[in-house]
Amino acid sequence: MYSDKTNSELIEILDQHSLLTFEAQLSLRDELEERAVVVDLSGLESTIANKLEQIHNLEYLKDFGFQANKSVDGLTVTRTKKAMLTDILAVVVGLFVFLLGVYGCVNLVLTFLNGDELDVFTLAYKFAMAALVFIGFSFFSGLKRLFDFSGFELSKHSGLITLKKRFDVKLEEIKINAADIHLDQGEEVLSLKLGHDTIFTSNAGNVIQTLTLQELAKALKT
C-alpha cells in the first residue's frame, strides 16, 4: 500500500495515523519496519494494540448491529437496541417514501390519461415521484432484519452453545455442536455459519469485521 512512498512521506503519514483505516495502519507499520526507518512507532503500536483488544472483546460486533456480553462462564450475543430502532426507522421511512411513490405513479398515469400538456421539468418531476416506489422498497430490508433477528440470542455457557433465531416464522432454540460452526469465505462476503444456515455476514474486505467474526467463531468453538 505504501511501497511507492518515500521515507519522509511515510513519517508524515505516521503523524496522522489516527485518521487511517485499521488495514492502512497495519500496512504502514509493516512498511516502516521493513525499511527499518528510525522513527517512534509507539503511538501507532498503541493504536493497533487497542483495536486488537477491542476485536478480542468482540466490541466491533456493534458494526453488525449486535453486542456481546462476556461473563466468567461464557458469552451472550444479542441484537443492540440501536440496531432495532434503526430498522424500525427504516421501515417507517420506507413506507412513507413508498406511499409517495404510489401517489406519484397514480398522478403520472392520470396525467397521460387526461392528455395534460406538460413541460419537461414537470414531467421529470412526476417521473421522479413515481420512482420513489422503488426507493421505498429498498428501505423494507429493515423489516426483514427486524423479523429475522426478533428474539435473537447466541450464547455459550459452560461449554453449551445455544442459538435462538427465526429460520422460518417460529422462533427456534437449538443446541449447537461446536464442530458445525464455521466461516465461509466468499469474494465479497465472509459468513459465520451453522451448518448451511448463515448466522452473521460481514464485508470480506473489511479487516476489522473479518477479524471480529474470526474471533467470535474462535470464542464459540474453544
| Nearest in space to 48 (alpha carbons), one of 217, 211, 190, 183 | 211
Could you give the CA distance from residue 142 to residue 132 in angstroms, rounded to a whole number? Answer: 17
pLDDT in tens, 206-219: 899 999 999 999 98
Residue 37 lies in a domain: yes
Q: Which residue range is the domain that position 45 belongs to?
A: 7-54
Residue 90 lies in a domain: no
- Decide if pLDDT at 134 tops 90: no
Q: 26: burial class by Cβ within 10 Å (0-12, 13-18, 19+)?
A: middle
Mean pLDDT of 109-131: 79
- Which pLDDT value is given to residue 196? 79
The rounded percent of the chain whose pLDDT value lies above 90 is: 34
Residue 144 lies in a domain: no
- On whether the pTM is more than 0.85, the answer is no
11: cell is 513519517
Residue 48 lies in a domain: yes
Average pLDDT score over the chain: 87
Residue 24 lies in a domain: yes
pLDDT in tens, 154-196: 999 887 889 898 877 788 888 888 888 889 888 888 888 888 7
With vertex at residue 206, the alpha carbon angle to CA 189 and CA 22, rounded to the nearest 5 degrees, is 170
Residue 195 lies in a domain: no
State the total domains in the chain: 1
Residue 76 lies in a domain: no
Residue 41 lies in a domain: yes
